[in-house]
Chain A
Amino acid sequence: MKPTVITRLFLVVAITVGPLLCAYAGGNSEVTSAKTITVGAEAGSPYMQFFKDLVVKNFTPQTGITVNWIDVPHNDMHQKFLTEAASGAGAIDVFNADQPWVPEFAAAGYLVDMDKYITADDKNDFLKIALDTVSYNGKIYGLPYFIHDCVLYYRTDLFKQAGIASPPTTWSDYIADAQKLTTGDVYGTIVEGKQSGAASAKFLDIVYQAGGRVFDDQGNVAIDDSWIDAFNLYLDLIYKYKVAPPGSPTFDNADTHNLLIQGKLAMAPGWPYMFSMTRDPKISKVVGLVAVAEQPGKVKQTAAVFCWGFGINSASKAQDAAARFIKFATSTDSIYALAKTFINPAVRKSALEKLKADPSVSDADRSVIATMSKAVDDGRTIPMIPQWPKIDDRIQYALSAVTSRQITPEQAVAQLKADITDIMK
């Protein structure tokens, strides 16, 4: 009886898993001169709105290609895109991809190798670190449009009041300044400890600043005592000096920007997107009172760099049109307009040059962009391996467990070492 059951099982699997396998083959890419492509994008993202407008204004008139958008909420993009890709449906031609998915999708065969679409000039013009974030095993699987790492936001008015001349560049200054700046109503700084990807990304900044890393150059797990220093900085800020709100172990970046624009923080490590928010009188109580600087460091001033990019679905039947869209969206003009609109660092050197030369950019904005770009230059990205989401999951756990004081930094480091070694086996 058993063999027949198993045979039947296999029959069903063969029928049902078939579509999945088609996707692996990366086949059915009969390239047509399609006039319509579909882009899977982050819903509610101002950047996607920017591209939507740009496409209607320039891309469609120039190329005759219309673009449909499938908007997916950020938290669900990964699952949704994976389902679409795994089904081999090819309904989405272009994926709007968060960096950690690139190796994963590439390894699974869901992304088209972009090599034939990129010129050598392009390769030189994109920041090297930006291209790294769309590469896997030496091949490029997409093009980046957006690069960022966290900078230190600080309140110029409160700094003046406390008699602090310039933002801190070392951890010890950072702690000392935070103590001076913590008054009845305002906290010196903030720490994010929620078990979430947003918080773990910021924690990597601290690890990098302490001289730590996940892997050494040979790819061996290299988690050492610098990670303990990183954990201890967080613990000290929350519990020893009490210069970060008590809710810090439960916060993520939404809490950081809310508290900053509510005027409750004197300093806050945060992403570039927050800068425009601080200047928006509709939501901010601190308009004109916030400036940015590079984050302080222990061994060096640095942060973890992340990118967003576009990649082509290997099941797409309109790959050439998809590539044209991606090249348009990541062209010098587009990147320049994006950086100017959102006060962000740019992924292309030529776009940055253009910004520097543009008289319509105010000096203040120019210096903010320069600071953010410097932070990107000094930053390092995360390992581009398909196992990264698994590793990140363990870092999220460790961070949350340590900041809520369930385990010590030493225990966390030992466990991380064991977990990551296990994942990489």
Chain B
Amino acid sequence: MKLPTVNDRSYGLLLAAPATVVLSLIVVFPLLYSLCLSFVRLNLLEPKIPLRFAGFANYLSVLTDPRFLQALLHTILFVLTTMTVEFVLGLGIAFLLNRRGMRGVGTLRTLLIVPLMVAPIVSGLQWRWIFSDQYGIFNRLLSFVHLRGPVWFASPVTAMTAIVVANLWVATPFDLLVLLAGLQGLPEEPIESAIVDGAGWFKRLWYVVLPLLRPAILAVLLIRLADAVRIFDIVYVLTGGGPGDSTQVFSSYIFTVSFNNLDLSRGAAGSFIMVLITAVSSLIMVRRFR
């Protein structure tokens, strides 16, 4: 059963074709639709106005909206914090789990991703109860050691901290598992030869392991970036963007514009700006890694 020989490139195209076709079919329509929306004027509250080409007016009005800039700032702050912390935690735990002769790694690994199996609507509400005043368990536990917890959602810094903590709980397992799988897939020779050369653990890590792990690290960072920028549910449940807009993020801005102000065009423009910013950050990251 030998197929006529095709060259490598055609063979590759053949393998990639089904996925490309399916993904295009699903994604291209919504993408184009939203793109078109962002260049016309379509506010459901003004249906009588005929559909008009609006050029970059929607984009300009988003970019000059102080609330957008504020949301941008909060999102950046959130993304930087959570990505750094979850990456460091994930990598650290992955190293521990990947130690030679560790037992029970499979079980531990499974236990650590259980948080992800809890429906987010429930885990979100649960974090609200955990951090809330009066009946929150977190401050209750602090009181056992005679500490007085803050009113978590009542000040910008503690509210953002609570959001980051709740998010770490569901986000870190991703970093951890992907990095661990990356570590497990690494060839052993280079590391062993480094040991033979007498390199210390830090040197081995910095000059041998991390460079080899580069594809996995890049994948983790890019995917987590795309997800972290879109954060919405946790914020919505925990703080509703408060106190005083101090935790409003990109997605909540776009949600408000699209479904509160019914300005779908501006919402679409906002999401393209958001994607553009994310894409540029990703490109910079890719460049630095190559």
Contacts and interface: CB of A to CB of B under 8 A. Distances in A.
Q: Report if A and B touch in the complex (beta carbons < 8 A).
A: yes
Interface of A: 6, 9-10, 12-13, 16-17, 20-21, 24, 78-79, 82, 86, 104, 107-109, 193-196, 245-251, 255, 258-259, 262, 264, 386-387, 389-390, 393, 396-398, 400-404, 406-407
Contacts of A247: 132-134, 151, 154
A250 B151 contact: yes
Nearest to B246: A406
Nearest to B245: A397
Given A82-B262, A389-B261, A16 B245 contact: no
Given A12-B33, A406-B156, A406-B246, A246 B44 contact: no
A192 to B, nearest CB: 12
B39 interface: yes
B240 A255 contact: no
Contacts of B245: 195, 397, 400-401
A404 B154 contact: yes
Given A386-B45, A407-B244, A194 B262 contact: no
B246 A10 contact: no
Interface string B11-41: 0000000000000000001001101110110
Nearest to B40: A13
Interface in B237-260: 239-246, 256, 259-260
28 contacts: A10-B36, A10-B53, A12-B36, A16-B32, A17-B36, A17-B51, A24-B47, A79-B259, A104-B45, A193-B243, A194-B242, A195-B240, A195-B245, A246-B151, A246-B154, A247-B154, A249-B243, A250-B151, A250-B154, A250-B243, A397-B245, A400-B244, A401-B243, A404-B154, A404-B155, A404-B242, A404-B244, A407-B244
Say what secondary structure dominates the interface of chain B: loop
Interface residues of B, number: 38
User: What 5 pairs across the A-B complex have the smallest Cβ distances?
Assistant: A247-B133, A401-B244, A195-B242, A404-B243, A400-B242
A108 B242 contact: no
A362 to B, nearest CB: 33
Contact of B33 (A6, A16, A389): A16
A60 to B, nearest CB: 33
B262 to A, nearest CB: 7
